[in-house]
Amino acid sequence: MLNINHLEFTFLKSIGAKTVLKKLMRTFSAVVSLDMDQQKIVVLTGAGMSAESGIKTFRDADGLWEGHDVMEVASPEGWAKNKELVLEFYNQRRRQLNTVKPNAGHTIIAKLEEHHDVIVITQNVDDLHERAGSSNIIHLHGELRSIRSVNNPRMRQYHDDDIHLGDLAPDGSQWRPDIVWFGEAVPELERSIPHVMEAEIIIIIGTSLQVYPAAGLIQYAYKAKKVYYIDPKPKSNYELDRTANLKVIEAGAVEGMEVVYNELVISHDQN
């Protein structure tokens, strides 16, 4: 923030630096205006956000989990039954990340940070938001490029290679994918709720809002002046039905974010 103390102001005035002062005051006004216009935006993203990057969605008939019952590869019971199957399943998902790139929707979300205070809360386990440039991201369901100890959920590390049975964490237990499976607690949910409570704008992209507890986050949107819901096949739930100022955009992530960016940034700047 621009800082001009009384002595500096008096000195500039005394030497007749009117032009300098005018420029400084215009700069000061612009900074103040920017701070006043900046809004708290929470972006809630699901599998549809990454679909346009080539990552198939769980809810599609030919989705990411094709050939596997979800409980076989995404539950503690499945892990106990066949650890090698689960490890290989996530090894394949991790390898897939090297073949895809962020889409324009990811890029637009990252660009919003130039104008607003933005936090992304995603159900996705990929790293496409990070690679697009977003800097404030909460992964509700974990991350593919992270592994953790079976015995200690807090013992985790970045990992970009395959995990095999017998790969041990420092505590001597098996490494496992750092993914929140069905039936497990969602540790990052508690950290997400205050952000939703403070949000002035909420953007929901590519999630059916059918999987709880993540789907229940929208109930905390106490201050939201506008809620955008972007999905090519939008669905409703109890929380959405009670949401005021809801705008449904029946489109994919890229097209939908272009509409939202135009409203929040381009149209605003023109007014």
pTM of the model: 0.82
Between CA 101 and CA 245 the distance in angstroms is: 33
Q: At what angle do helices 18-37 and 6-14 cross, to 10 degrees?
A: 140
Domains annotated on the chain, with CATH = 39-54+101-141+186-271 (3.40.50.1220), 56-99+144-179 (3.30.1600.10)
Q: Kindly name the residue from 139, 141, 159, 195 that is annotated as catalytic.
A: 141
Q: Annotated catalytic, 141?
A: yes
Per-residue pLDDT tens, the chain, 271 aa: give them.
Answer: 445 455 444 444 454 555 444 444 544 444 444 455 789 999 999 989 998 999 876 555 444 455 678 889 999 999 999 999 999 999 999 999 999 999 999 999 999 999 999 999 999 999 999 999 999 999 999 999 999 999 999 999 999 999 999 999 999 999 999 999 989 999 999 999 999 999 999 999 988 777 777 878 989 999 999 999 999 988 877 777 788 789 999 999 999 999 999 999 977 665 5
Q: Within 10 Å of residue 266's Cβ, how many Cβ atoms?
A: 10
User: Within 13 Å and on the Cβ side, how many CA atoms surround 234?
Assistant: 18
DSSP designation for 223: S
Q: At residue 60, what is the residue type?
A: D
- Of 245, 238, 79, 47, which is closest to residue 148 (Cα–Cα)? 79
